Structure 1
Amino acid sequence: MGPDGVASLSRPLNRALYACIRGAIQEGSLAPATRMPPQRDLAVELGLSRNTVMFAYEQLMAEGYLTARTGSGTFVADTAPERFLNASVIVATDPQRQGAVPMPGLSPRGQRLIANASASSTQWGAFMPGVPDLARFPHRRYAQIAAKLWRQPHPEWLSYSHGGGLPALREAVAAHLRVARSVQCDASQVLITEGIHQAIDLVVRMLGTPGETAWVEEPAYWGIRGVLEVSDIGMVPRPVDAEGMTLPDTGAVLRRPAPRFIFVTPSHQYPLGAVLSLKRRRELLEFARRQGSWIVEDDYDSEFRFSGQPIPSLQGLEPDAPVIYIGTFSKTLYPGLRMGYMVLPKPIAAAFQTAHAELYRAGHLMTQATVAEFMQAGDYAAHIRRMRPLYARRRAILAGLIEQYLGPDALHEHASNAGLHLVLRLPDGVDDAAVAARAREQGIMVRPLSRYYMTPSVQRGLLLGYACVPEESIAPAFHTLMRCLH
């Protein structure tokens, strides 16, 4: 909107409406706790489509300006976000005395975390990366197992977890990893977590000291950078090529202290897709042993390889490797499960299990019992076998469309025939973040590749997830994205 409240013709109506409401909240015209009109009523009153109003409301809720109350409606939030983001000290009026009272604001690292936040408010639809097909999850079978367990639950399953998680699930995870990923482990080394972020947080807390450094792939998953940022662990980006993370020349003298951690996605580099070569794997293990570094292997989607033999884990390559292996059920089952696992070297496993219970007061043992039986009965492996050819078909459809309309060079050269997303390359001069924002306005969710880089020398592109898109919807969604590109 312009200063006179008239929508600017230079931007879409949904963005204009969002800006108008946001401005009214910031200047106080819409006071906290004000009830907003229902979306349908506001659309009729303004002569707009309901989708236009829905976008504005959803964006304002994602940013904290509005809040929805079930059964009551949508309200202006009690606090505007800028008050907390723009100053380290907030001044508030004290009714008991004249003047102002300083209030603590966000810490510098908290401000950096918020400033670099990348989590999307929308987690489903074309072409959201990293999301499996939730409609194909075997809901009925899973519900049968859960219902049976709930009829006569063990009392200890309704309390806090201790010892690294439910023993039955730890046994099932260890058995699966030994067969499917060549991980060298037994159940005593397995720790059940609430996802990869919690696993990384625990690793850094237990083994790191503020001021130490970590090597991270360049580009790398933004979630790892967020956890390291708030833990005051310095990050050293290591470029990725066709063989994965690059390493210093053998015998080279490091210009800075050796990294305490090396974070790597060796089986399917995220986000580019390269596979860490055997030569580099051995060099990495040798380097870590020599320097006293910990390798954190993120094996986030290795179950979905569509050609050739599965890539074995780095952890299982050598006995007693200095590797902490982490994985997740988010890609094989569903993200909302919030369940992952760690495989720890035996000397530190018990300490991690105790620390996990102390820090996070873990629970969800009924859910763990359900997943354990789901795995033990063979349903987990069967589900993966069903989804693998389905995702392969969807990948082939999307890759074919990209090659047809943009040429074979549009697919990133490091991509391997695996995973749940593709990387569409864009010319260096293209603002991939702007393209992603424009696509979002059209209902297409993609992630800009530039957001995964720490250094200025970034590649431009888009991450396109295909796993959650039905085959018949891929082409229409792709053509919508093409219009945004043009």
Structure 2
Amino acid sequence: MKSICADLVLQRLAPEAGAALNRQLYNCLREAILDGSLPPSSLLPASRDLAREIGMSRNTVLHAYAQLQAEGYGHSRVGSGTFVAETAPDNFLSAGRPVTAAAAASAPVRLSKRAQTLLANASAAPVQWGAFMPGVPDVTQFPHRHYSRILHRLWRAPAPELLTYSHGGGHPALRTAIAEHLRVARSVRCDADQILLTEGVHQAIDMTLRMLVDPRETVWVEEPGYWGFHKVLQMDAVRVRPLHVESDDEGPGAGWPRGGKPPRLIFVTPSHQYPLGSVMSLARRRELLDFARAAGSWIVEDDYDSEFRFAGRPIPAMQGLEPDSPVIYVGTFSKTLFPGLRVGYMVLPRALAQPFRTAHADLYREGHAITQAALAALIDQGHYAAHIRRMRVLYARRRALLAGLIGEHLGPEYLHPQASNAGLHLVLRLPDGSDDVAIARAAQARGVLTRPLSAYYQRGGAQRGLLLGYACVQEEHIEPAFKVLLRCLQSSSSRAA
């Protein structure tokens, strides 16, 4: 089998009139070194091997290698072979040379209007770990020893179906394990045939929009709400109406849009509203279910961190309140295990399960069967439930520590009144007129990560505040990071005064 270097030479080697073969080979290799195709310090093939692969004599290759070394493009190590130089001599010659206008100029790239809007308001943070990044679990606590043993067993003799494309909604063992877990932990009414495995919540949202909503049709989304919903909605060109998050004492339907066509989809986070943290009352859940049935709408219930409730009775999922509810239940392992796993799931009403499975296989070419099989074993062996129990204790301790610091240094009024004793973040309220975006930027410059609450609003009337994630912060780091944030708040207050 030819080496990659041999393939490169055979593609680029062009006969040069009057030039010896060794010179042609030298020129070919030199150009590949200069344009980075053969990177610095990379090992060139043995002369005998390259000669055989490209159909030249070994002496021809030896002469080309010798010329490269003589001119500083390569060097040899006894017993190891010939390597590309770390710095080509041409780089020294061109140092300080101004870039020509032709090289610097580039043709403008035409992006769609949807892409331009997405990029102008990009929200995904380049840094995803540290105090106080919201929505990130403590990935250092993942039961990696159990998981690695399971993976090692699967990789010893993997079945072919674990290594090819999947079809049918994901690995059957994981779909069964998820269905059993949800029935017990979240009172979800489902079986394995209703489970569709996804790459995460974003793919689930995109899939639902593609399957159920035509362009310019209407969907309702919580205001404020998860920025990821809005990004996918922008790209799918649907009409968005805000479902205002109000306190429950205002009664069912207080924040619903009035008038207009009924929505095709209604996106909600009823068990722990994102980002404010409130819990949707039972009366409002039933009212929303009745409305959806009457209007022919579907509810998308994102149950993103419902496992982490630190006080009070567990709150069952909306999906399980009545048989065959018009609810698409969405969950993920990103919060309970680690985000890089990229495994989420949908619990689909029976009428939607088969069409969604077929479309998912055609659109996204399912895979990750080894990962899914390992995750199923982790659940079946009890390690997943044990991990959640441990993390509840750990996160409750960290939440109490951060809440105590806020109360001590700022006052209890700085904790958002809608926050429930659950989740992976707290909302720090700020006085009206505060620039939460500038404060978040100043904190990040000092190594403390947070998100401005106002960024979760799509329309006017945004509350000001900061989302403070505590799950991924070691206890001994919470107070020092909070004091950095406190200085940013004080600096912002003094400038405003």
With structure 1 as the length reference, what TM-score do the two structures score? 0.78
Counterpart in 2 of 1:425? 429
User: What are the within-5 Å matches in structure 2 for residues 104-115 of structure 1?
Assistant: 105-115=110-120
One-letter amino acid of the structure 2 residue matched with residue 359 of structure 1: L
Structure with greater helix share of residues: 2
- Aligned match for 2:438, one of 427, 434, 442: 434
Q: Is the aligned partner of 1:198 residue 2:203?
A: yes
Paired with 2:330 and 2:190, the residues of 1 have a C-alpha distance of 12
Paired with 1:426 and 1:147, the residues of 2 have a C-alpha distance of 50
Paired with 1:111 and 1:462, the residues of 2 have a C-alpha distance of 27
One-letter amino acid of the structure 1 residue matched with residue 210 of structure 2: R
Counterpart contact for 1:315–1:321, Cα < 8 Å? yes
* SS of 1:358 mapped into structure 2: helix
One-letter amino acid of the structure 2 residue matched with residue 343 of structure 1: V
How far did 1:243 drift?
2.8
Paired with 1:408 and 1:322, the residues of 2 have a C-alpha distance of 39
Counterpart in 2 of 1:140? 145
* SS of 1:316 mapped into structure 2: helix
- Aligned match for 2:476, one of 457, 472, 479: 472
One-letter amino acid of the structure 1 residue matched with residue 272 of structure 2: H
CA displacement 1:221-245 (0-9 Å, x = unmatched): 0000000111011111121122399
How far did 1:104 drift?
5.6
Counterpart in 2 of 1:344? 348
Counterpart in 2 of 1:413? 417
One-letter amino acid of the structure 1 residue matched with residue 217 of structure 2: E
Counterpart contact for 2:242–2:257, Cα < 8 Å? no
One-letter amino acid of the structure 2 residue matched with residue 267 of structure 1: S
- Aligned match for 2:405, one of 401, 406, 421: 401
Q: Is the aligned partner of 1:388 residue 2:398?
A: no
How far did 1:363 drift?
0.5
Are the structure 2 counterparts of residues 259 and 464 from structure 1 closer, same or farther at C-alpha, using a change threshold of 3 Å?
A: same
Counterpart in 2 of 1:296? 300
Counterpart in 2 of 1:168? 173
One-letter amino acid of the structure 2 residue matched with residue 233 of structure 1: V
Paired with 2:219 and 2:281, the residues of 1 have a C-alpha distance of 21
- Give the count of matched residue pairs: 393
One-letter amino acid of the structure 1 residue matched with residue 469 of structure 2: G
One-letter amino acid of the structure 2 residue matched with residue 404 of structure 1: E
Counterpart contact for 2:272–2:420, Cα < 8 Å? yes
How far did 1:254 drift?
4.2
CA displacement 1:7-66 (0-9 Å, x = unmatched): xxxxxxxxxxxxxxxxxxxxxxxxx99xxxxxxxxxxxxxxxxxxxxxxxxxxxxxxxxx
Counterpart in 2 of 1:126? 131
Counterpart in 2 of 1:447? 451
* SS of 1:429 mapped into structure 2: coil
One-letter amino acid of the structure 2 residue matched with residue 400 of structure 1: G
Paired with 2:250 and 2:230, the residues of 1 have a C-alpha distance of 16
- Aligned match for 1:278, one of 268, 275, 282: 282
Paired with 2:102 and 2:425, the residues of 1 have a C-alpha distance of 51
CA displacement 1:64-84 (0-9 Å, x = unmatched): xxxxxxx99xxxxxxxxxxxx
Q: Is the aligned partner of 1:313 residue 2:317?
A: yes
Counterpart contact for 2:246–2:254, Cα < 8 Å? no
What is the percent sequence identity of the aligned residues? 63
- Aligned match for 2:226, one of 195, 211, 221: 221
How far did 1:308 drift?
1.0
How far did 1:247 drift?
5.9
One-letter amino acid of the structure 2 residue matched with residue 193 of structure 1: T
With structure 2 as the length reference, what TM-score do the two structures score? 0.76
One-letter amino acid of the structure 2 residue matched with residue 346 of structure 1: R
* SS of 1:482 mapped into structure 2: helix
Paired with 1:129 and 1:244, the residues of 2 have a C-alpha distance of 28
Paired with 1:101 and 1:364, the residues of 2 have a C-alpha distance of 39
Paired with 2:429 and 2:380, the residues of 1 have a C-alpha distance of 42
One-letter amino acid of the structure 1 residue matched with residue 114 of structure 2: R
Q: Is the aligned partner of 1:117 residue 2:122?
A: yes
Counterpart contact for 2:253–2:284, Cα < 8 Å? no
RMSD: 2.3
Are the structure 2 counterparts of residues 479 and 355 from structure 1 closer, same or farther at C-alpha, using a change threshold of 3 Å?
A: same
Counterpart in 2 of 1:236? 241
- The structure with the largest alpha-carbon Rg is 2
CA displacement 1:88-144 (0-9 Å, x = unmatched): xxxx989xxxxx998661111111111121000000000000111111111111111
Which runs of 5 or more residues in structure 1 are unaligned?
1-31, 34-70, 73-91, 95-99
Q: Is the aligned partner of 1:268 residue 2:268?
A: no
Counterpart contact for 2:136–2:471, Cα < 8 Å? yes
Paired with 1:206 and 1:199, the residues of 2 have a C-alpha distance of 11
How far did 1:321 drift?
0.7
CA displacement 1:160-212 (0-9 Å, x = unmatched): 11100000000000000000000000000000000000000000000000001
One-letter amino acid of the structure 1 residue matched with residue 416 of structure 2: H
One-letter amino acid of the structure 2 residue matched with residue 129 of structure 1: P
Paired with 2:148 and 2:124, the residues of 1 have a C-alpha distance of 29
* SS of 2:320 mapped into structure 1: coil
Counterpart contact for 2:253–2:287, Cα < 8 Å? no
Counterpart contact for 2:427–2:466, Cα < 8 Å? yes
User: What are the within-5 Å matches in structure 2 for residues 10-159 of structure 1?
Assistant: 105-159=110-164
Paired with 1:276 and 1:434, the residues of 2 have a C-alpha distance of 31
How far did 1:428 drift?
1.4
CA displacement 1:254-303 (0-9 Å, x = unmatched): 42111111000000000000000000001000000011111000000000
Paired with 1:378 and 1:398, the residues of 2 have a C-alpha distance of 31
Paired with 1:351 and 1:118, the residues of 2 have a C-alpha distance of 32
One-letter amino acid of the structure 2 residue matched with residue 113 of structure 1: L
* SS of 2:299 mapped into structure 1: strand
How far did 1:324 drift?
0.1
Which runs of 5 or more residues in structure 2 are unaligned?
1-34, 37-85, 88-100, 491-497
Counterpart in 2 of 1:83? none
